[in-house]
Structure 1
Amino acid sequence: MIWLSWRQFRLQACVAAVTLALFAAYLLYLGTDIRDAHASALTRCGRGGDCGQIMNQFQSGYQNTLLLLAAGLGLALALIGAFWGAPLVAREFEAGTHRLVWNQSVTRRRWFASRLAFTVLAGAITAGAAGALLTWAAAPVDEAAGNRFSTVLFGSRDLVPAAYAVFAVVFGAVVGLLVRRTLPAMAITLVGFLAFQFFVPNVIRSHLMAPQRTTLAMTAEAVNQARNLGNFSGDAVIGGITVPGRPDAWVSRTSPLLTADGDPLEKSAFNACLDDPPKTDTRGTFGDTAACLGGLGLHLEVDYHPGGRYWAFQWRETGLYLLLSGLLTAFGLWRVRRGPS
């Protein structure tokens, strides 16, 4: 079965090897360039320049490139599930070749397990190597930016890409086992995996560990350090808050702006500061609006995870995906044994 699996998978393996080699060559170039730019930025800092501005310029110069690479890796994982996992079993059923194997001494479960194990291993190695290369290349920028918990970046660094690939292949194989047609199985796998990749970081990830909670006074200075004010509904909310003394912390939940009594700020008062604040010539991102809100005695309740929890989240999310992959594999082994010939 191993030799048969290799014979059927060798084209995909060759394509993956060539793609990974090209990706590695580009990341080696990019990583070297990033390290040269980082060393130059540190030198300018040591000469008495504005270090904060210098490091911001350094990270902004590579931010978009690294974001595109992270998003591209996420899409590649979805394609691994669709093009490696989904046809793995569906193509055999569609062509009827599964009957030839089942009429030999190979059992259905052994057939399914051997086909799945070979492809899962290939996917984990490919994704793990790509994630490790991207992690190495982006390390100086990630350190300067302090945003390793970012939704897109977190999923392209260190351990989790390999676990995502394992889940993508297993999910695709099980979908193919149930649908038994290659193209529908590929489409379902692609859409389902991408939906799951959106659901986990936005709904599940923050609950993998209990957050810490703090209260932040919303002075004019604190408001000016935020990234955005308000939303489409006109609610009294503020976004892009950092926890003082913990710039690398992941803020997972932010309450609306609260008054001294703990009640949400009225929309009318919030919009008055946004649309027609008193003229105070306050400088900063939001200027007079920040001064107006800062004078209302407001505060926020913030849930956050310290930056030191990064590796704990990596291990827990890796474990979550491997657990789900194991459950899907068990279901597939049960289904292939109970399913029709």
Structure 2
Amino acid sequence: MIWVTWRQFRGTILLGVLAPLLLATAIAAVTFLADRLGSNYVLFRCFGLSTTTCLTESSLTLASLATIALPVVLGVFVGVTAFSRDIERRTHVLGLTQAVGRMRWYWTRVLVVFTPIVLAMVVLGYVVLWSRFGTSPFGSSFVDAFYSRLEFPTFGTIGVVPAGYTALGLVIGSTAALLLRNTIGAMVVTMVATVAVIIAFPSLVREHYATPEVDRLTLEMSESGRSVAYEVAPSDVQRASWMVDSYYADVAGRRIDLPYDACSSEDDIWPDPREDETTADYNDRVDAFLTARSEARVACLTELGADHYEHLLFEDRMLWRFQFTETALCLLLSALLAGGSTLAVRRLRP
């Protein structure tokens, strides 16, 4: 049965495996090219440096975004067609009348067709991880320096998560094909369902994988309105954390929901430089303006019961815990769907 399945779907399997592997090869090649052309400060390559360097970085960003689209594409064109073509043509009757059990017929296709593709996506995920974060503490694109690796869409393009999404997309496709028994309808359902799952994980589920850390700021710090520029060595740069919530809190740490315009001032207009004013004098006047504004806001917030400002966040060190958790959830959902699909398989008539 394994050999028969391979002979029937070898073209589909090869295309499904080659798509992520070729994309991984292209990403690796562009990464080597970018490393040879660019400086050590990857973040600023697109500002005043060569067009070739900027183009290579843009290519890496687009390729990594293509990685998160592959689970949807593979689910639609591989997961669905692994069953829908035979069912529509009724050629599945031949297999089910040759002393082949229904469960064997189903699980052989799932394992032989889907497993190599999922493994190829593991390779792609690790290549994307290396290309974007393995050569620089900043990452290989502008946004990598400011957004956490735990956030969408970066998280879904690196490590083992693309493989988890692909496994789920393939099983969603096969389930839709067995239930609807119509290729076009199953493709539409698969596309919508897989996209919904990929969006639901970061927006609804991921922040519950662990308890977030609490970063507390005094009101004086949170309302200062100042930014500080400083220089650090690339080896000392910390990857960005994923902030999931922020709010004012009272002395006991209870959340305080304040109106958006609370403690705002209509006279809060940034001072413009005067014609007869030196730069030093203007800077002193701006400092005085910021200090007065900060003190007024702190006093107002204190009257409303606020004691400090809290950020709920996950540090980058949680990456692999989140990666394996989300992948395990995808595989669990895939197993449940596949188990449910066996009920539809039992309904197939030879």
TM-score range (shorter-chain normalised) is 0.7 to 0.9
Contact preservation (8 Å) 1:109, 1:333: yes
Paired residue for 1:315, among 324, 346, 349?
Answer: 324
Measure, in 1, the Cα distance between the counterparts of 2:322 and 2:211: 11
Measure, in 1, the Cα distance between the counterparts of 2:269 and 2:256: 22
Residue 196 of structure 2 corresponds to residue 195 of structure 1 = yes
Match of 2:112 in 1: 118
SS across alignment from 2:157: coil
Give the 5 Å matches for 1:168-317: 168-217=169-218, 219=221, 223=225, 248-255=240-247, 263-269=256-262, 272=265, 276-277=268-269, 279=271, 292=293, 295-297=296-298, 299-317=308-326
Instruction: Note closer, same or farther for the CA distance 1:332–1:222 as it changes in structure 2 (3 Å cut).
Output: farther
Match of 2:93 in 1: 99
Gaps of 5+ in 1: 42-53, 227-244
Deviation at 1:265, TM superposition (A): 4.0
Paired residue for 1:331, among 321, 329, 340?
Answer: 340
Contact preservation (8 Å) 1:277, 1:288: no
Match of 1:231 in 2: none
Measure, in 2, the Cα distance between the counterparts of 1:119 and 1:128: 16
Paired residue for 2:131, among 126, 134, 137?
Answer: 137
Instruction: Note closer, same or farther for the CA distance 1:288–1:129 as it changes in structure 2 (3 Å cut).
Output: farther
Deviations 1:208-243 (A, max 9, x none): 1121223223536865559xxxxxxxxxxxxxxxxx
Give the 5 Å matches for 1:79-90: 79-90=73-84
Match of 1:78 in 2: 72
Measure, in 1, the Cα distance between the counterparts of 2:291 and 2:70: 43
Aligned length: 305
Match of 1:235 in 2: none
Gaps of 5+ in 2: 48-53, 139-144, 229-236, 273-281, 302-307
Aligned-residue sequence identity (percent) comes to 26
Q: Which has the larger radius of gyration?
A: 2
Contact preservation (8 Å) 2:16, 2:74: no
Q: Could you state the TM-score of these two structures normalised by the residue count of structure 2?
A: 0.75
Match of 1:15 in 2: 15
Q: Could you state the TM-score of these two structures normalised by the residue count of structure 1?
A: 0.77
SS across alignment from 2:216: strand
Measure, in 1, the Cα distance between the counterparts of 2:137 and 2:250: 36
SS across alignment from 1:336: helix
Measure, in 2, the Cα distance between the counterparts of 1:290 and 1:105: 84
Deviations 1:293-318 (A, max 9, x none): 57512643221112211111111111
For residue 336 of structure 2, what is the amino acid of its counterpart? L
Residue 44 of structure 2 corresponds to residue 57 of structure 1 = yes
For residue 91 of structure 1, what is the amino acid of its counterpart? R
Instruction: Note closer, same or farther for the CA distance 1:55–1:35 as it changes in structure 2 (3 Å cut).
Output: closer
Q: CA RMSD in A?
A: 3.3
For residue 196 of structure 1, what is the amino acid of its counterpart? V
Instruction: Note closer, same or farther for the CA distance 1:328–1:33 as it changes in structure 2 (3 Å cut).
Output: same
Higher RCO, 1 vs 2 (CA within 8 Å, ≥6 residues apart): 2
Measure, in 1, the Cα distance between the counterparts of 2:321 and 2:119: 22
Measure, in 2, the Cα distance between the counterparts of 1:303 and 1:21: 38
